[in-house]
Amino acid sequence: MSDYQSNLVDPFGRAISYLRVSVTDRCDFRCTYCMAEDMTFLPRKDLLTLEEIDRLASAFVTRGVRKLRLTGGEPLVRRNVMSLIESLSRHLGSGLDELTLTTNGSQLYRFADQLAEHGVERINVSLDTLDPAKFRVLTRWGDFHQVMRGIDRAVRAGLKIKINAVALRDVNEDEFEDLLRWAHGRGFDLTLIETMPLGEIGTDRTDQYLPLSLVRTRLAQHFTLDDLPDRTGGPARYVRVRETGGRLGFITPMTHNFCESCNRVRVTCTGTLYMCLGQEDAADLRAPMRASSNDDLLHAAIEEAIARKPKGHDFVIDRDTTPSVPRFMSATGG
């Protein structure tokens, strides 16, 4: 039997210290680059219970995961999700360094105070535009002013905020200077993200794709961008914007394969473990977890899966290529 206190290391010597867990595939937005408008969501019976998510995440913490991020869909629309966050917070200071989440901000005005109370110190908020009308078009269902209200509440609760914005050609490419000044003016980091070929969304992604190399060149005409050595094990490459003093990140899965230092894996809301966002290979953790009241089978399944973690992904966007990965981002988890 394996030592279930040993850390998880993949075939390329990368220690797995970061777990992203989707608590739901449901969302109260239908962002045009992420979902089709008429999404069919999973039957609730297929989802892991909150207790199962806790058990699964806790197993990873015992194996060396130091950072746990809850995602969706929109994690804050999952019923009773605060009870899960409260329970997981018991690991903070006892193996877990950080418990955080990525949100569209729609429910922050309801939950920001509770998040802070349960040990969440930092959150990522997805926000692609500061134009309320454009925000409604992009999200289809979203209310910009409700998101701003939630961000304000999160600030008052003491949460640190990073803004994530997907770069979309002919949609928000003229806004990045304003978005940067707004975010840094409020003390928020900003990270720009290239659109990724995940799921059939009903439109041609080549019409949306905007390389961040071009965005950076344009921003450099207005700002002094000093490269930073900051590495989180994640995909972002960071610069310090001299004029604002703030930090700006670039996530470039299309123009730069960022996999060499990948320290993360993802678990879906149905208990499927994806070792790489851009590959289809996966492992079912729900079945071994439900097959036994102890975690031996679960740990064995996790070990076997990590032993198959690939070196990197192979994202492609062009008009003649179907999505590199057919599943939606909301199914994999943020």
Whether residue 73 is annotated as binding a ligand: the answer is yes
Supply the DSSP string of 205-269, one letter for each residue: GGGTB--HHHHHHHHTTTS-EEE-----SSS-EEEEETTT--EEEEE-TTTS--GGG--EEEE-T
The reply, when asked if residue 312 is annotated as ligand binding, is: no
Q: Is 199 annotated as a binding residue?
A: no
Show the tokens assigned to 216.
């950076």
Q: Is 27 known to sit in a ligand binding site?
A: yes
The answer on whether 136 is annotated among ligand-binding residues is no
**Is residue 31 annotated as involved in ligand binding?**
yes
Measured between alpha carbons, how far is residue 12 from residues 117, 259, 292, 310 in Å?
A: 38, 11, 31, 8
**CB neighbours of 137 closer than 8 A, spacing ≥ 6?**
32
Burial of 171 (0-12, 13-18, 19+ CB in 10 A): buried
95 close to 76: Cβ distance less than 8 angstroms: no
- CA 252 to CA 131: how far, in whole Å? 24
122-126 β-sheet, strand order: 225-227, 237-241, 247-251, 189-194, 160-167, 122-126, 98-103, 67-71, 18-22, 264-267, 272-274, 282-284
Q: Which residues contact 310 (CB under 8 A, 6 or more apart)?
A: 275, 276, 279, 281
Residue 262 annotated as lining a ligand binding site = yes
Question: Does 156 belong to an annotated binding site?
Answer: no
- Is 196 annotated to bind a ligand? Reply is yes
289 is in an annotated binding site: no
Q: How crowded is the C-beta side of 55, counted as CA atoms within 13 Å? A: 19
Residue 269 annotated as part of some ligand binding site: no
Binding-site residues, please? 20, 27, 31, 33-34, 69, 73, 102, 126, 162, 196, 259, 262, 264-266, 276
Binding-site residues for [4Fe-4S] cluster, please? 27, 31, 34, 259, 262, 276
Binding-site residues for GTP, please? 20, 69, 102, 162, 264-266
Binding-site residues for S-adenosyl-L-methionine, please? 33, 73, 126, 196
